[in-house]
Amino acid sequence: MKLEHVAIWTANLERLKDFYVRHFGGQANTKYTNEQKQFSSYFISFGSGARLELMTRTGIPENLNDRVGAQHTGIIHLAFEVPSKAAVEEKAEQLCAAGFPILSGPRRTGDGYYEVETLDPDNNRLEITTVWVD
């Protein structure tokens, strides 16, 4: 069994789509729109086969959890694997230069990874990670 996709509601569909395409190499499908439901979405596909479904619809309330400074129950981050420590550091530099905050790292974690934590344009937490090799 594999995880097929994860869905994210957003108030700015195009901005979030562009972020994942530009910074994570995702490929967006043609936008799907259901005018009757006032719903639109993109599927963003990645080389691993995993996909993100980015969705927007009128009437979806803003997430009131503090996703930057606090933790809460539910899905808390998405993790993207890169091939090396240097790739983690390079992605951190690229995202920082593009104006995205670095929450922690790059650093070695206690569970065997080298990672950096950041946020997407909607303040969803992201990890860019690789397996630590001595």
Bridging pattern class, strands 5-9 and 51-57: parallel
Residue 121, domain extent: 77-131
Tens digit of pLDDT at every position of the chain (134 positions):
888 999 999 999 999 999 999 999 999 999 999 999 999 999 999 988 899 999 999 999 888 877 778 877 888 899 999 999 999 999 999 999 999 999 999 999 999 999 999 999 999 999 999 998 77
Same domain? 9 vs 49:
yes
Task: Report yes or no on 69 lying in a domain.
Answer: no
* Cβ burial 11-37 (10 Å sphere, 16+ → b, else e): eebeebbebbeebbebebeeeeeeeee
Residue ranges in the chain assigned as alpha helix (H): 13-24, 85-97
Residue length, the chain?
134
Tokens of 4: 């097929």
Q: Would 107 be classed as within a structural domain? A: yes
Residue 67 lies in a domain: no
Structurally, the chain folds into a number of domains equal to 2
> How far is Cα of residue 64 from the mean position of the Cα atoms in its chain?
19
Question: Same structural domain for residues 127 and 82?
Answer: yes
Q: Do residue 87 and residue 53 come from a single domain?
A: no
In a domain, 68, yes or no: no
Residue 83 and residue 127 share a domain: yes
**Axis-axis angle for helices 85-97, 13-24 (nearest 10):** 140
Residue 66 lies in a domain: no
| CATH code assigned at 120 | 3.10.180.10
